[in-house]
């Protein structure tokens, strides 16, 4: 069975043709990446992809969407598109569809990916626990969070969350200063304001102010580039601070979910993989007071599948429609 798998974030919409074999294995065609700002709506992006594929597409689609997916109208967290599920079949010309939160899709990918698709970051070595709850989170344009529950019989359940919007809790004077800067613009500061890709700009500007340095207003991509290359020591310090905060947030999510394992995902997480391993991420993940020894026993992995959103969207479609057929 073939379907169109779509992963829609704040900046990009990625499309691929997914093939689900009789044994349940999933393969993806070479993805096409479209910029959301170049299209007035998801429908026009769909039509663009259809034209690129020769004018025809499979009559099934699974969409992973950055934002809540319930209700009559789905609004994206970080782009202006909307989707009305009741009109999907008519507007796209499909027979079946699935719509899931983007990190719900990533959690499906975590459930289905092979062990060689993960890098060990901290905690006990070895595969992720075969049963129980796993926390899945990752920084991108926003901060996605989901959890996955593995049953003893090999089945699993996935739940989307809006964990990226919980309150940010600073742990030291630098994070106090970051919070103070953000609070000038936001009455309530969520963790997404600190551990998502665009947040590096506020971290960088906060560090510059602490050192009484006048630095130009450069965009987040340039800060990430200069920081990860080591070209700019202040940008490098901002990247390291980001990794510390991400470790704290990942540990908080694990506590909240009662997780037996944690998986870091997302494009930014993948690009940061070497930096995270050398940073204070692991120390901050464990730093939960009297629960430090418990946190040290939780394995943390990084998923390195090249397209977990697309792969997971296809897996979510297979899961939903297999259940519908029963």
The CA distance from 257 to 38, in Å, is 38
- Is there a binding annotation on residue 6? yes
Going by pLDDT thresholds of 50, 70 and 90, the confidence category of residue 268 is: confident
Q: Are residues 95 and 192 in the same domain?
A: no
Q: Are residues 249 and 313 in the same domain?
A: no
- Is there a binding annotation on residue 9? yes
The vertex-108 CA angle with 192 and 157, nearest 5°, equals: 100
In the 3-class helix/strand/coil scheme, how is the chain assigned residue by residue?
A: CEEEEEEECCCEEEEEEEEECCCCCEEECCCEEEEHHHCCCHHHHHHHHHHHCCCCCCCEEEEEECCCCCCCCEECCCCCCEECHHHHHHHHCCCEEEEEEHHHHHHHHHHHCCHHHEEEEECCCCCCCCCEEEEEEEECCCEEEEEEEECCCCCEEEEEECHHHCECCCCCHHHHHHHHHHHCCCCCCEHHHCCCHHHHHHHHHHHHHHCCCCCCCCCHHHHHHHHHHCCCHHHHHHHHHHHHHHHHHHHHHHHHHCCCEEEECCHHHHHCHHHHHHCCHHHHHHCCHHHHHHHHCCCEEEECCCCHHHHHHHHHHHHHHHHHHC
Domain range for residue 56?
2-110+306-325
Report if residue 126 sits inside a domain: no
Q: Are residues 290 and 317 in the same domain?
A: no
The CATH number that applies at residue 237 is 3.40.367.20
Q: Are residues 183 and 214 in the same domain?
A: yes
Q: Are residues 274 and 315 in the same domain?
A: no
Structural domain count of the chain:
2
Going by pLDDT thresholds of 50, 70 and 90, the confidence category of residue 325 is: very low
Report if residue 271 sits inside a domain: yes
Q: Could you read off the pLDDT of 198-254 as tens digits, one per residue?
A: 999 999 999 999 999 988 888 999 999 999 999 999 999 999 999 999 999 999 999
Q: Are residues 320 and 294 in the same domain?
A: no
The CATH number that applies at residue 94 is 3.30.420.40
Task: Specify the pTM.
Answer: 0.88
Report if residue 80 sits inside a domain: yes
Report if residue 55 sits inside a domain: yes
Both tokens of residue 149? 């529950």
Q: Are residues 175 and 70 in the same domain?
A: no
pLDDT over 70 at 36, yes or no? yes
Q: Are residues 289 and 233 in the same domain?
A: yes
Give the phi and the psi of residue 34 in degrees, each rounded to 5: -115, 150
Q: Are residues 65 and 48 in the same domain?
A: yes
- Is there a binding annotation on residue 140? no
Q: Are residues 286 and 313 in the same domain?
A: no
Average pLDDT score over residue span 148-159: 92
Report if residue 195 sits inside a domain: yes
Q: Are residues 93 and 219 in the same domain?
A: no
Report if residue 115 sits inside a domain: no
Report if residue 140 sits inside a domain: no
Q: Strands 96-101, 82-83: parallel, antiparallel or unpaired by DSSP?
A: unpaired
pLDDT over 90 at 100, yes or no? yes
- Is there a binding annotation on residue 10? yes
Q: Are residues 60 and 177 in the same domain?
A: no
Could you tell me the end-to-end alpha-carbon distance of the chain, in angstroms, rounded to an integer? 17
Report if residue 45 sits inside a domain: yes
């Amino acid at each position: 069975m073939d379907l169109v798998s779509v992963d829609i974030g704040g900046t990009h919409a990625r499309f691929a043709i997914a093939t689900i074999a009789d044994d349940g294995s999933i393969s993806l065609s070479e993805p096409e990446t479209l910029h959301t700002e170049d299209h007035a709506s998801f429908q026009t992006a769909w039509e663009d992809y259809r034209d690129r594929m020769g004018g025809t597409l499979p009559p099934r689609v699974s969409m992973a969407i950055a934002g809540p997916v319930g209700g009559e109208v789905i609004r994206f967290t970080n782009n202006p598109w909307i989707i009305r599920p009741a009109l999907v079949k008519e507007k796209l010309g499909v027979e079946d569809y699935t719509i899931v939160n983007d990190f719900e899709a990533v959690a499906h990918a975590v459930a289905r990916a092979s062990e060689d698709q993960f890098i060990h970051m901290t905690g006990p070595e070895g595969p992720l626990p075969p049963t129980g709850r796993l926390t899945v989170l990752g920084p991108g344009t926003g901060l996605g969070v989901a959890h996955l529950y593995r049953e003893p019989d090999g089945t699993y359940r996935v739940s989307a969350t809006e964990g990226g919007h919980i309150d940010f809790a600073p742990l030291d004077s630098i994070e106090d200063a970051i919070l103070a800067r953000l609070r000038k613009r936001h009455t309530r500061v969520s963790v997404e304001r600190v551990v998502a890709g665009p947040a590096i700009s506020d971290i960088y500007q906060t560090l510059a102010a602490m050192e009484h340095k006048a630095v130009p207003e450069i965009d987040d991509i340039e800060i990430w580039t200069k920081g990860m290359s080591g070209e700019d020591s202040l940008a490098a310090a901002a990247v390291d601070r980001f990794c510390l905060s991400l470790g704290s947030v990942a540990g908080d999510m694990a506590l909240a979910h009662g997780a037996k394992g944690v998986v870091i995902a997302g494009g930014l997480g993948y690009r940061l993989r070497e930096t995270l391993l050398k940073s204070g991420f692991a120390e901050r993940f464990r730093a939960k007071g009297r629960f430090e020894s418990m946190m040290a026993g939780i394995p943390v992995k990084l998923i390195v599948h090249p397209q977990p959103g697309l792969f997971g969207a296809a897996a979510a479609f297979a899961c939903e429609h297999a259940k519908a057929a029963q």
